[in-house]
């Protein structure tokens, strides 16, 4: 076997195959990944619709707390089909949450096609990190949501009745959970870019100023301006995750450099 030949499944063969893939082949692969993701979301939506009753009770818990404090707070369903529409909204978002292992894995498999056995271990590691972080983000969002709602309702004048229109209220809660959940996964994608050779750990670390600025803006947008505590908590967690991603990437770079140094042929004496 000559030095130009490649063994099945070797990085050289995969690079050659990737170069031969046409735009149509990439589109077919993208369609397949999207189809699997959609099927996973639909299955999750069915489960979400079945569980929508208990979920609604959990979502309106902040309203009940406000009602106990003020005596005037209710969830307002103002259309004939509002109840069904509310359950469908919940089913859709819950479907996204429950199918997170499916669509997260499909994103990774589309970004890194033709994985070797070693890279498959990276996939397992990616899922083992991304999925808990996603649900940790949902938990943080759920813990922040009651404080955010109660804080904003405190600006309602005394004696006024607070009606939370179901569509706006559900959208606010569910989008808050989804946005924070996805934000928690973004550091894992930074590590993925490092594994793919797109970003070095030092490049991620050098961008800490921009990262902190972006994180602060995101935390301020995701929480009310008056709720400084929630903003600082969210921003602090994301900053820690960012530097953790930089640290893991630096570790991978060091291991990669040692491996490359070990396979380089010794220099010939002058």
State the pLDDT confidence band at 223, using cuts at 50, 70 and 90: confident
> Which tokens in the block code for residue 129?
């990190």
Most confident of 39-43, 192-196, 253-257: 39-43
Residue 138 lies in a domain: yes
* Pairwise CA distance, residues 183 & 178, whole Å: 8
Q: Give Cα 153 distance to the centre of its chain.
A: 29
161 three-state secondary structure: coil
Which of 152-161, 220-229, 236-245 holds the top average pLDDT?
236-245
- The answer to whether position 4 is within a domain reads no
Q: What is the pLDDT of residue 114?
A: 60
Which residue, 226, 88, 98, 97, is CA-closest to 166?
Answer: 88
The distance between the two most distant Cα atoms of the chain, rounded to a whole number of Å, is 91
Contacts of 264 (CB under 8 A, 6+ apart): none
pLDDT recorded at residue 112: 66
Euclidean distance between CA atoms 143 and 224, whole angstroms = 15
Query: Does this model's pTM top 0.85?
Result: no
10 occurs within a structural domain = no
**Portion of the chain with pLDDT greater than 90, in percent:** 7
Question: What tens digit of pLDDT does each residue of 5-43 get?
Answer: 444 444 444 444 444 557 777 788 888 889 999 999 999
- Does residue 197 fall inside a structural domain? yes
The residue range of the domain holding 151 is: 23-261
Write down the residue that tokens 């550091």 correspond to: 187
Domain count, the chain: 1
The pLDDT assigned to 7 comes to: 43
Of the candidates 34, 163, 172, the one whose C-alpha atom is nearest the C-alpha of residue 93 is 172
- Alpha helices (H) in the chain, listed in sequence order: 11-20, 23-50, 52-59, 61-70, 82-98, 100-111, 117-153, 166-195, 201-206, 208-222, 228-263
d(CA 236, CA 103): 27
Tokens of 7: 């063994």
Residue 78: inside a domain: yes
Please give the pLDDT value at position 50.
92
In a domain, 195, yes or no: yes
Q: What is the pLDDT of residue 10?
A: 47
Residue 224 lies in a domain: yes
- Say whether 76 sits in a helix, a strand or coil: strand
Helix (H, G, I), strand (E, B) or coil at 163: strand
């Amino acid at each position: 076997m000559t030095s130009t030949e490649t063994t099945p499944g070797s990085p050289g063969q995969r690079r050659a195959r990737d170069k031969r893939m046409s735009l149509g082949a990439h589109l077919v692969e993208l369609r397949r990944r999207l189809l699997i993701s959609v099927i996973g979301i639909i299955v999750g939506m069915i489960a979400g619709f079945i569980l929508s009753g208990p979920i609604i009770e959990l979502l309106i818990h902040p309203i009940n707390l406000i009602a106990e404090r003020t005596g005037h707070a209710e969830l307002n369903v103002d259309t004939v089909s509002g109840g069904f529409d509310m359950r469908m909204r919940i089913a859709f978002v819950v479907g996204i949450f429950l199918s997170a292992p499916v669509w997260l894995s499909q994103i990774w498999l589309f970004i890194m096609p033709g994985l070797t056995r070693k890279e498959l271990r990276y996939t397992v590691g990616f899922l083992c990190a991304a999925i808990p972080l996603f649900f940790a983000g949902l938990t943080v969002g759920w813990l922040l949501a009651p404080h955010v709602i109660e804080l904003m309702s405190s600006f309602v004048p005394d004696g006024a009745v607070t009606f939370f229109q179901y569509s706006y209220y559900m959208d606010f809660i569910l989008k808050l959970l989804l946005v924070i959940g996805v934000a928690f996964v973004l550091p894992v994608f930074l590590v993925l870019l490092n594994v793919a050779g797109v970003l070095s750990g030092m490049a991620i670390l050098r961008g800490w100023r921009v990262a902190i600025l972006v994180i602060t803006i995101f935390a301020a947008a995701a929480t009310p301006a008056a709720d400084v505590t929630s903003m600082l908590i969210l921003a602090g967690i994301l900053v820690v995750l960012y530097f953790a991603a930089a640290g893991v990437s630096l570790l991978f770079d060091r291991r990669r450099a040692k491996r490359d140094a070990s396979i380089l042929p010794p220099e010939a004496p002058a």
